[in-house]
Structure 1
């Protein structure tokens, strides 16, 4: 899923997103240089550009759907 946006990210935005990514990777015991982290980083940028700016909300957007909702 990619959102089309003409917004740009500055250094503050990138630092914020990096902090969220580091938190999620630490919570899930994932390496920052792994493919899962790269996928999450792309998703974080998409959700951020979509307008989700609160760290906890961004983390929730990275959580998988419960099994009963996915079926």
Structure 2
């Protein structure tokens, strides 16, 4: 499924939540979607937990090594 289709489905879900449930439901659906996105990235192996806890120097050194 393309990223455009996934974005459209997510937008429709947020729209329905906002229309039928109000602003609170809109925020809840958006937050759960963001959490699901992060968990999916972890499960696919695109992100590692250490990526969020590295210092600035570690990040620069790692990025420079990739060049």
TM-score normalised by L of structure 1: 0.34
**More helix as a share of residues:** 2
TM-score normalised by L of structure 2: 0.36
Could you say which structure has the greater relative contact order, defined with CA pairs below 8 angstroms and 6 or more residues apart? Answer: 1
The structure number with the bigger radius of gyration is 2
